[in-house]
Amino acid sequence: MAATDSAHEPGCDTERVTELLGRRPQSTFTVVVRDTAGDPVVLRNAPLHDDGTPMPTLYWLAGKDALRRVSQLEAAGGVREAERVIPAAAIAAAHARYAAERDAAMPAGHTGPRPSGGVAGTRQGVKCLHAHYAYHLAGGDDPVGRWVAARLAEAADTEAADQ
């Protein structure tokens, strides 16, 4: 997977992202990471839905394989493990960087409700490994996302050795 700006037709991306999400996206987005076949893996969402509702999740993990693998890690206690091994200050700093990036994308002069919190709208700790991993894949400095990437690489190595 590589971080890229969307080079595909926007309509085509919307159709494919609708398939991946199981619903039509509620805001504008850009595909920022694609897999080797060109399929969307990470989306960068607008900070507001089309109806003006705040969208705290700037980076969204959409790739089916990545979603499956991260879901398995979460189901195995990954959120608690990440919070145990990654210093709280490092997680808090990632939340602050994420919020600053998202907030910088807010429309000038917006006076309505605003998204809040850091990664996935969380103010502290880890809410969702998917959002941290998406931020990491998109180039964000996220220690939780790096931890997820390392765990997924270990799992892939184990699966390969077992075959």
- Residue 110 is part of which domain span? 2-162
Report the C-alpha gap between 54 and 47 in whole angstroms: 6
Question: Which is nearest to 102 in space by CA: 142, 50, 58?
Answer: 58
Residue 71 burial by CB count (10 A; 0-12/13-18/19+): exposed, middle or buried? middle
Domain count, the chain: 1
Q: Is 93 left (phi over 0), alpha (psi -120 to 50) or beta?
A: alpha
- Give me the chain's average pLDDT, please: 91
| Separation between Cα atoms, residue 34 and residue 153, nearest integer Å | 18
pLDDT score, position 6 = 44
In the predicted model, what is the mean pLDDT of residues 75-95? 97
pTM of the model: 0.90
Give the tens place of pLDDT for each residue, 118-127. 999 998 999 9
User: For residue 11, what pLDDT is reported?
Assistant: 57
